[in-house]
């Protein structure tokens, strides 16, 4: 199962966990599964998160495929200058 | 024609490999150059409307005060005054929420104070009158009674027990128990076991660093012209990095339907992140709605300094361990950033960028977002990253000096590469740090002799870069010319890059393409011009939109020739049969197809709407020589070289310009720029006289080297280039000063008196 | 407040206007005469974006009252090109990408033209000090200095 | 605000003497307009003196001194070859006021009457022994420049009084002056400290010396002991040390955004040495 790494601000909303294992074949499925597992994550995820899948930062594409061994990081959405 | 012909191509941003470009990589004149050298270009304050009123804003002179009474009646009674607004004239439906979740509320509270004035310069009321002079006179007639409250402007002071509380309940759930209420967000990241890593080191250095808030310092003050009717429909002209964002915020703050407010972005006189948010536009619209006339609102320079976003100031602790051979064994950083009277200081980016240049087994970073009685910070070129680079790269330099190691070799030894697990988590794809270091090492600057009193410093820097929501539309004309409509304001020559990419794909001359920054009513949503995203994301969308048009052009040729579209290729601006089997037809130029497009299926346009995801991260290495006057403590930068990975430089001259501009801003930040607050919490230097950005005679020529390590996430390999260039200069100059004068400056700016104090300590120690 | 009648020559044309004595020349150029090329970057003489010439002398129009224009000769960025022909400085600014946002550009062009009229062969240092009152935040000045030096060289060759 | 443009000083004095409310004379305007734009002060009566005959003139007087009109700008002075030959320190000080653009408008008399302790031209003018002529309802008087400012933004000029000209004494043989200031950038800053020195030498020996410091006290003031420290010396190290000590002792600065007391006092010593050396070289070359 893919492991999703949460940034520290999300951990309080996920029972203190830094890594959550969820089922999913796409970024969208992963995010949905995350919210199902940790309902507290619904608001920040809807507000917008960046998802890094194997090093590529995905801002919004829910259909991006995810492998069972993919490295997934949730990151705060970027604000540049 | 099949419906799917009009569906934009999704995804597929992959780099398409090396190729011979015809136009990309050349250096043509920018399309808007003529307007900008003749004075015809229209910036924020350059629009006038019939019946227009002029507005002015009353601002708090106090750093922290309760607004006990606000009486605008005398101002309203002044001849020529047509409207006065206060907080009561804005939406009641924008809801407060902790952290940055309630960003619309934060913006509203920032642009017009509610119960309290939270910083010197906080807007309290605004007036629209028939002339600017009457508007200014009217402000003096507004009576405000303040109850002055204790204030705090320093980040470390604001975290201490007993510090004045800016706003209870502003902290989100990330903040650990027991912190002061001014600490509103918390971040931690990293991997490995740093204590184990430090135990492996031959030398561990731990130091404290500070950087002062600096302002983006764009020369054009914020300006807008708005008209809003009682029917809820409005028009807005403003200088902004993102007019769809302005539209969204204004609609929310004034209870409008977003689509009913059309926003046009003027030419923009610099932004650097400072025009990614909203300060005056809702105020102008509220005044217009009340007065029933168009309202122009232009900030003064003092207002820009007092009430728009400078960057955050920072207090940082860095600890790095190194082996004698230069291997970094562990790194740890704590970053406390104050972002003014609202949540949002970019401390997570500071933390995430801090060690991003290095391949580290053990790394840990912690960030605090702290509120103070200062203006709400705004993004500034790689927000959060330069201060981290200052602290981290200074410590690495000190380690190199003490271990007798070459600073470039040590950085090469530890440099992040493809496959390195980044300090902020994910694993890097193809990146170009090593290439910038190698190019810096090979540059004549690195080996050039120094004169007495001079020192050389180097530093690396990192920025993420960004993609973001993007729409581009491309329409062909009958004569074969093309209009490209983009939604990202052109801050530094991006029209030229867009035209080059469109010309490359269409195969027509650059001069036959006109790139327009479309208003919100003419194109789909576009995110702000930020995060170095324009050449990457709008560029990618332009390529895709042009390819969408090319597919339709090929279809027309296929229809004419009676063959399948798959048998038609597009080569050098012409449809050609893909091979001998496709038939024997003469190449059909684009203009031949468009000449008859009305009769052969209708107008031909290309579109692309998506959120490109593959913005490649970017690295730079800077070399600087500085000279220190040991009698006065004054530093002069005598030589400067920027080496940066651009992925692929679309218009190399403008890439160089971004490198040079970032370096110059970094030099200002390092040496002379700072927000200076008095004991009374008032900003002491709200003008270009005492907020000292570099002037022409302060700087040397700034040499540039463009490294091109293709970004795997862009068809041509483009990486954003706008921001990374401001990350290395702070440390590079501190390192040069250290090598020139033998003193290590840990606080920015390195103003002469600070250097002199360090020199005095050096003498006392000796 | 009584307005004052002023007659001046701007870019060679005689113009008349009425202005409040508190209005600066910059206000008059922009708000009364529609000459928006001069910009207000600071209003206090620190940025040079409002540079004009007054009887051939480089000044900040924000540091001059409109009423002081009476009987004087004023030059603005709008008067630099001759018809459709750009001045060499204007061409070189485009060619060298000596502008990014372009907001400081009108003031810098007015200032640089005034320099080259006085000194056709300035050194890099002379250009830098002459333009020290024209702030640019985008370019780091490198390409601006190169464009001015290149334009000067071209003008010397042509003369 | 009422705007007046008199054609004689008598008329200017009459308007000023009879004016109700804040009255300012307008020459270059580079301070007044900043104050107006910043909302610090808008005068009720503004008297533009540039229409008065002679105010734009630079005239060498019979005794070899100079009479400089009150509307003469910095740029006009720096372009004037002869005056710069006589008083290079005064001219370099005037030339440091603001940008090229500001030089096109700003006047040394305006710099003096604005009464900033950090005014660049004033230490050089004080060191040079310059005077101004002042006309008022009571008549005309000559005043040493150091007696015009009485504190930051305040002058000794009485209601109705206007400065009508700036006078530099004849330079004479063996004279040399210099001015330097410290600023954090290379241009566009207000002096953190400024130092003007004027010397006369006979052979290698200093026979006259005056020094004044800017931005180290509420007004620019002459360092009275400079002559004692330098006259009779050949600017040896001991003389420079004594001068630097005097300069530091004369400092009564404030801590502000532009510099601390400690920093300014330190710089006063550094610049006393640097500027005296330049003035000495110029004086020796002028024999």
What letter does residue B634 receive in the DSSP assignment?
-
Chain C residue with minimum CA distance to B216: C137
Alpha helices, H only, B160-226: 194-199
Residue A59: the pLDDT is 62
* Residue in this structure with the two tokens 């600087």, named with its chain if needed: B624
Mutate to test the interface with B, among C109, C137, C149 (most CBs of B within 10 A): C137
Mean pLDDT computed over every residue of chain A: 86
**Looking at beta carbons, which residues of chain C come within 8 Å of B27?**
97
Q: Which of D37, D257, D260 sits opposite B685 (nearest CB)?
A: D257
Query: Is there a contact between B383 and A80 if contact means CB atoms under 8 Å apart?
Result: yes
Q: Which of A56, A73, A81 sits opposite B272 (nearest CB)?
A: A81
Residue B706 sits in a domain whose CATH number is 3.30.365.10
- Pairing type for strands B313-322 and B203-211 reads antiparallel
Chain C residue with minimum CA distance to D33: C63
Give dist(CA B556, CA B546) in Å, integer: 15
Q: Which of B425, B464, B614 sits opposite A78 (nearest CB)?
A: B464
Average pLDDT over residues D143-147: 97
Q: Tell which of B577, B610, B643 closes a domain.
A: B610
User: Does the pLDDT of residue D136 top 80, yes or no?
Assistant: yes
Query: Is there a contact between D184 and B631 if contact means CB atoms under 8 Å apart?
Result: no
Alpha helices, H only, D38-194: 74-78, 81-86, 88-95, 100-103, 108-113, 121-128
**Looking at beta carbons, which residues of chain C come within 8 Å of B654?**
97, 100
SS3 B143: strand
Query: Is there a contact between B37 and C22 if contact means CB atoms under 8 Å apart?
Result: no
For residue C89, give how far its alpha carbon lies from the nearest alpha carbon of chain B (Å).
Answer: 9
Average pLDDT over residues C109-120: 98
* Residue in this structure with the two tokens 């070129």, named with its chain if needed: B381
| C63 at interface of D, judged by CB pairs closer than 8 A | yes
Average pLDDT over residues A73-78: 85
Query: Is there a contact between B685 and D186 if contact means CB atoms under 8 Å apart?
Result: no
Query: Is there a contact between C129 and D29 if contact means CB atoms under 8 Å apart?
Result: no
Compute chain B's Rg from CA coordinates: 27
Mutate to test the interface with B, among D120, D185, D191, D271 (most CBs of B within 10 A): D185
Q: Which of B685, B694, B756 sits opposite D266 (nearest CB)?
A: B756
Contacts of A73 (CB under 8 A, 6+ apart): A4, A5, A7, A51, A52, B424, B425, B426
SS3 A5: strand
Q: What is the per-residue burial (b if ≥16 Cβ within 10 Å, else e) of D185-197? A: bbbbbbbbbbbbb
Chain B residue with minimum CA distance to C30: B46
Assess whether B144 and B8 both reside in one domain. Answer: no
Express each pLDDT in B18-74 by its tens digit. Answer: 999 999 999 999 999 999 999 999 999 999 999 999 999 999 999 999 999 999 999
Contacts of D203 (CB under 8 A, 6+ apart): D287
Query: Is there a contact between C57 and D104 if contact means CB atoms under 8 Å apart?
Result: yes
Q: What is the largest CA-CA distance in chain B?
A: 90
User: Does the pLDDT of residue A65 top 90, yes or no?
Assistant: no
* Residue in this structure with the two tokens 């990081």, named with its chain if needed: A73
| B9 at interface of A, judged by CB pairs closer than 8 A | no
Strands, E, within B495-634: which ranges? 513-517, 568-571, 574-577, 588-589, 605-610, 618-628
Peptide bond into B749 cis (omega under 30): yes
Q: Do chains D and B meet with 3 or more Cβ pairs nearer than 8 Å?
A: yes
Alpha helices, H only, A1-81: 8-11, 27-37, 42-47
| B218 at interface of C, judged by CB pairs closer than 8 A | yes
Mutate to test the interface with D, among B629, B671, B695 (most CBs of D within 10 A): B695
User: Does the pLDDT of residue C32 top 60, yes or no?
Assistant: yes
| C90 at interface of B, judged by CB pairs closer than 8 A | yes
Window 158-177 of B: residues touching A by CB (8 A cutoff) are: 172-174
Give dist(CA B440, CA B262) in Å, integer: 48
What is the number of CB-based contacts under 8 A between chain B and chain C? 182
CATH code of the region A3-76: 3.10.20.30
Q: Total domain count for chain B?
A: 3
Give dist(CA B184, CA D152) in Å, integer: 44
Residue C1: the pLDDT is 57
Assess whether B474 and B452 both reside in one domain. Answer: no
Window 169-188 of D: residues touching B by CB (8 A cutoff) are: 182, 184-188
The CATH superfamily holding the domain D175-285 is CO dehydrogenase flavoprotein, C-terminal domain (3.30.390.50)
What is the 3 state secondary structure string of B269-289? CCCCCCCCCCCCHHHHHHHHH
Residue B543: the pLDDT is 97
| D105 at interface of C, judged by CB pairs closer than 8 A | yes
**Looking at beta carbons, which residues of chain D come within 8 Å of B694?**
185
8 Å CB contact between B376 and B102: no
**Looking at beta carbons, which residues of chain C come within 8 Å of D46?**
21
Q: What are the sequence ranges of the domains in chain A?
A: 3-76
Give dist(CA A56, CA D52) in Å, integer: 73
CATH code of the region C4-79: 3.10.20.30
Query: Is there a contact between D189 and B689 if contact means CB atoms under 8 Å apart?
Result: yes
Contacts of B766 (CB under 8 A, 6+ apart): none
Query: Is there a contact between A57 and B426 if contact means CB atoms under 8 Å apart?
Result: yes
CATH code of the region C88-158: 1.10.150.120
Phi and psi at residue A25, in whole multiples of 5°?
Answer: -105, -10
* Position B294 in a domain: no
Q: Do chains D and A meet with 3 or more Cβ pairs nearer than 8 Å?
A: no
Q: Which of B48, B219, B298 sits opposite C135 (nearest CB)?
A: B219
| B156 at interface of A, judged by CB pairs closer than 8 A | no
Query: Is there a contact between D1 and C22 if contact means CB atoms under 8 Å apart?
Result: yes
How far does CA B558 lie from the centroid of its chain?
45
Predicted complex ipTM: 0.96
Express each pLDDT in D41-71 by its tens digit. Answer: 889 999 999 999 999 999 999 999 999 999 9
Q: Do chains A and C meet with 3 or more Cβ pairs nearer than 8 Å?
A: no
Chain D residue with minimum CA distance to C24: D33
Residue B136: the pLDDT is 95
Give dist(CA B646, CA B722) in Å, integer: 9
Give dist(CA B514, CA B516) in Å, integer: 6
Helices C105-118 and C88-95 pack at an angle, to 10 degrees, of 130
* Residue in this structure with the two tokens 């390819």, named with its chain if needed: B547
Query: Is there a contact between B348 and A80 if contact means CB atoms under 8 Å apart?
Result: no
Query: Is there a contact between C65 and D29 if contact means CB atoms under 8 Å apart?
Result: yes
Residue B5: the pLDDT is 36
Chain C residue with minimum CA distance to B723: C138
Q: Which of B29, B40, B688 sits opposite C135 (nearest CB)?
A: B688
| B763 at interface of D, judged by CB pairs closer than 8 A | no
* Position B401 in a domain: no
| B676 at interface of D, judged by CB pairs closer than 8 A | yes
Q: What are the sequence ranges of the domains in chain C?
A: 4-79, 88-158
Assess whether B237 and B98 both reside in one domain. Answer: yes
* Residue in this structure with the two tokens 């495929």, named with its chain if needed: A65
Window 31-60 of C: residues touching D by CB (8 A cutoff) are: 43-46, 48, 51, 54, 57-60
Chain C residue with minimum CA distance to D97: C133
CA dist C130 to B640, C81, C114, Å? 22, 22, 10
H or E element, residue B127: strand B123-129
CA dist D209 to B251, D179, D194, Å? 71, 14, 17
User: Does the pLDDT of residue C86 top 80, yes or no?
Assistant: yes
| C154 at interface of B, judged by CB pairs closer than 8 A | no
Residue B4: the pLDDT is 34
SS3 B572: coil
Phi and psi at residue D61, in whole multiples of 5°?
Answer: -90, 170
Average pLDDT over residues C99-104: 98
| B22 at interface of D, judged by CB pairs closer than 8 A | no
8 Å CB contact between A50 and A58: yes
Nearest by Cα to B333 from B302, B299, B366: B366
How far does CA B735 lie from the centroid of its chain?
25
Residue B3: the pLDDT is 33
Contacts of B126 (CB under 8 A, 6+ apart): B55, B56, B57, B58, B84, B85, B86, B112, B283, B286, B287, B297
Contacts of B109 (CB under 8 A, 6+ apart): B118, B342
Q: Which domain does B78 fall in, by range?
A: 44-150+231-284
Instruction: Mark the ranges of chain B whose per-residue pLDDT is less than 70.
Output: 1-12
Please, which chains are in contact with D (at least 3 CB pairs closer than 8 A)?
B, C
8 Å CB contact between A4 and A72: yes
* Position B306 in a domain: no
Residue B116 sits in a domain whose CATH number is 3.90.1170.50
Query: Is there a contact between A59 and B614 if contact means CB atoms under 8 Å apart?
Result: no
| D39 at interface of B, judged by CB pairs closer than 8 A | yes
In chain D, the N- to C-terminal Cα span, in Å, equals 53
For residue D74, give how far its alpha carbon lies from the nearest alpha carbon of chain C (Å).
Answer: 11
8 Å CB contact between B21 and B504: yes
């Amino acid at each position: 199962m893919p492991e999703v790494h949460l940034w520290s601000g999300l951990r309080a909303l996920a029972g203190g966990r830094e890594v959550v294992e969820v089922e999913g074949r796409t970024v969208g499925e992963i995010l949905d599964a995350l919210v199902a597992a940790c309902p507290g994550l619904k608001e920040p995820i809807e507000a917008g998160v960046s998802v890094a899948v194997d090093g590529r930062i995905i801002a919004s594409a829910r259909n991006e495929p995810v492998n069972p061994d993919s490295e997934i990081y949730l990151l705060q959405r970027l604000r540049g200058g | 024609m099949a419906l799917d012909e009009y569906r934009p191509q999704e995804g597929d941003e992959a780099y398409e490999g090396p190729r011979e470009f015809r136009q990309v990589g050349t250096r043509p004149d920018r399309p808007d150059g003529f307007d900008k050298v003749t004075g015809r270009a229209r910036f924020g304050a350059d629009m006038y409307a019939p019946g227009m009123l002029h507005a002015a804003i009353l601002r708090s002179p106090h750093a922290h005060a309760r607004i006990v009474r606000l009486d605008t009646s005398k101002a309203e009674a002044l001849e020529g005054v047509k409207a006065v607004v206060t907080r009561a004239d804005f939406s009641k439906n924008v809801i407060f929420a902790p952290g940055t979740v309630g960003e619309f509320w934060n913006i509203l509270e920032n642009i017009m104070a509610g119960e309290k004035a939270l910083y010197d310069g906080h807007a309290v009321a605004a007036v629209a009158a028939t002339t600017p002079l009457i508007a200014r006179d009217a402000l003096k007639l507004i009576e405000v009674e303040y109850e002055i409250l204790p204030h705090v402007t320093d980040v470390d002071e604001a975290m201490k027990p007993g510090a004045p509380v800016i706003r209870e309940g502003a902290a989100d759930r990330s903040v650990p128990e027991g912190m002061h209420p001014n600490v509103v967000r918390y971040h931690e990241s990293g991997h490995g076991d740093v204590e184990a890593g430090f135990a492996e080191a031959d030398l561990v250095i731990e130091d404290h660093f500070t950087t002062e808030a600096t302002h983006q310092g764009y020369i054009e003050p914020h300006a807008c012209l708005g008209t809003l009717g009682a029917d809820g429909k409005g028009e807005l002209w403003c200088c902004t990095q993102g007019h769809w964002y302005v539209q969204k915020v204004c609609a929310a703050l004034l209870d409008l339907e977003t689509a009913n407010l059309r926003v046009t972005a003027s030419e923009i006189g610099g932004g650097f992140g400072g025009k990614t948010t909203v300060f005056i536009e809702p105020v102008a619209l509220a005044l217009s709605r009340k007065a029933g006339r168009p309202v122009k609102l232009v900030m003064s320079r003092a207002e820009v300094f007092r009430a728009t976003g400078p960057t955050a100031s920072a207090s940082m602790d860095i600890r790095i361990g190194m082996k004698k051979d230069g291997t970094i064994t562990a790194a740890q950083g704590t970053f406390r950033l104050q972002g003014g009277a609202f949540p949002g200081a970019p401390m997570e980016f500071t933390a995430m960028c801090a060690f991003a240049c290095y391949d580290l087994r053990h790394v840990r970073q912690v960030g605090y977002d702290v509120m103070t009685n200062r203006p709400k910070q705004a993004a500034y070129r790689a927000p959060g990253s330069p201060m981290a680079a200052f602290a981290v790269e200074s410590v690495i330099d000190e380690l190199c000096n003490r271990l007798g190691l070459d600073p470039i070799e040590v950085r090469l030894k530890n440099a992040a590469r493809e496959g390195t697990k980044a300090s902020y988590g994910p694993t890097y794809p193809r990146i170009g740090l090593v290439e910038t270091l190698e190019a810096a090492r090979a540059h004549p600057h690195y080996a050039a002799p120094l004169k007495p009193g001079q020192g050389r410093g180097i530093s690396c820097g990192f920025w993420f870069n960004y993609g973001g929501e993007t729409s581009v539309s491309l329409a062909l004309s009958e004569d074969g010319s093309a209009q490209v409509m983009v939604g990202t304001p052109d801050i530094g020559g991006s029209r030229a890059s867009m035209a080059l990419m469109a010309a490359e794909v269409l195969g027509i001359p650059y001069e036959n393409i006109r790139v327009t920054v479309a208003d919100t009513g003419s194109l789909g949503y576009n995110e702000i011009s930020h995060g170095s995203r324009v050449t990457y994301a709008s560029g990618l969308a332009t390529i895709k939109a042009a390819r969408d048009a090319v597919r339709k052009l090929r279809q027309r040729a296929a229809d004419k020739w009676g063959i399948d579209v798959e048998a038609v290729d597009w080569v050098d601006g012409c449809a050609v049969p893909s091979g001998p089997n496709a038939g024997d037809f003469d190449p059909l130029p684009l203009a031949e197809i468009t000449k008859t497009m009305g009769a052969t299926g209708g107008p031909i346009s290309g579109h692309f709407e998506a959120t490109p995801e593959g913005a490649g991260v970017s690295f730079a290495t800077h070399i600087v020589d500085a000279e220190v006057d040991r009698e006065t403590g004054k530093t002069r930068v005598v030589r400067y070289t920027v080496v940066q990975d651009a992925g692929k430089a679309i218009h190399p001259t403008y890439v160089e310009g971004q490198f040079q501009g970032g370096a110059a801003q970094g030099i200002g930040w390092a040496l002379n720029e700072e927000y200076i607050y008095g004991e009374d919490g008032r900003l002491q230097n709200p003008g270009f006289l005492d907020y000292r950005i570099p002037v022409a005679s302060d700087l040397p020529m700034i040499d540039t080297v463009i490294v091109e390590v293709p970004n795997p996430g862009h068809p041509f390999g483009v990486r954003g280039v706008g921001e990374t260039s401001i990350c290395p200069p702070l440390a590079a100059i501190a390192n040069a000063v250290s090598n020139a004068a033998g003193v290590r400056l840990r606080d920015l700016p390195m103003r002469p008196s600070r250097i002199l104090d360090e020199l005095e300590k050096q003498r006392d120690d000796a | 407040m009584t307005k004052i009648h002023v007659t001046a020559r701007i870019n060679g044309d005689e113009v008349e206007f009425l202005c409040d004595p508190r209005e600066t020349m910059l206000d008059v150029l922009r708000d009364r005469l529609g000459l928006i090329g001069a910009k207000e970057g600071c209003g206090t003489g620190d940025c040079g974006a409002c540079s004009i010439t007054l009887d051939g002398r480089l000044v900040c129009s924000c540091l001059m009252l409109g009423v002081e224009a009476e009987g004087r000769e004023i030059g603005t960025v709008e008067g630099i090109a001759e018809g459709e022909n750009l001045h060499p400085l204007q061409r070189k600014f485009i060619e060298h990408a000596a502008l990014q946002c372009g907001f400081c550009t009108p003031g810098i062009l007015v200032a640089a033209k005034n320099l080259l009229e006085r000194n056709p062969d300035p050194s890099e240092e002379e250009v830098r000090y002459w333009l020290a009152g024209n702030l640019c935040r985008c370019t780091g000045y490198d390409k601006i200095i190169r464009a001015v030096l290149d334009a000067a060289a071209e003008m010397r060759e042509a003369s | 605000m009422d705007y007046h443009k008199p054609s004689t000083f008598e008329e200017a004095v009459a308007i000023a003497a009879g004016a109700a409310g804040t009255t300012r004379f307008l020459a270059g305007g580079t301070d007044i307009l900043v104050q107006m734009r910043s909302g610090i002060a808008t005068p009720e009566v503004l008297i533009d003196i540039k229409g008065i005959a002679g105010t734009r003139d630079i005239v060498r007087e019979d005794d070899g001194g100079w009479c400089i009109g009150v509307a003469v700008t910095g740029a006009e002075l720096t372009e004037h070859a002869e005056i710069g030959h006589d008083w290079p320190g005064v001219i370099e000080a005037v030339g440091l006021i603001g940008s090229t653009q500001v030089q096109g408008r700003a006047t040394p008399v305006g710099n003096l009457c604005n009464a900033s302790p950090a005014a660049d031209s004033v230490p050089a003018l004080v060191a040079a022994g310059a005077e101004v002529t002042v006309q008022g309802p009571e008549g005309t008087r000559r005043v040493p420049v150091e007696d015009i400012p009485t504190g930051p933004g305040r002058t000794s000029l009485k209601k109705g009084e206007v400065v009508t000209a700036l006078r530099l004494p004849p330079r004479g043989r063996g004279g040399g002056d210099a001015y330097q200031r410290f600023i954090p950038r290379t241009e566009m800053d207000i002096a953190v400290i400024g130092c003007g020195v004027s010397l006369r030498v006979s052979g290698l020996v200093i026979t006259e010396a005056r020094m004044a410091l800017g931005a180290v006290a509420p007004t620019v003031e002459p360092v009275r002991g400079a002559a004692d420290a330098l006259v009779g010396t050949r600017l040896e190290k001991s003389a420079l040390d004594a001068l630097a000590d005097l300069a530091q002792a004369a400092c009564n600065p404030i801590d502000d955004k532009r510099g601390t007391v400690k920093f300014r006092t330190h710089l006063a010593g550094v610049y006393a040495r640097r500027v005296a050396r330049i003035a000495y070289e110029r004086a020796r070359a002028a024999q």
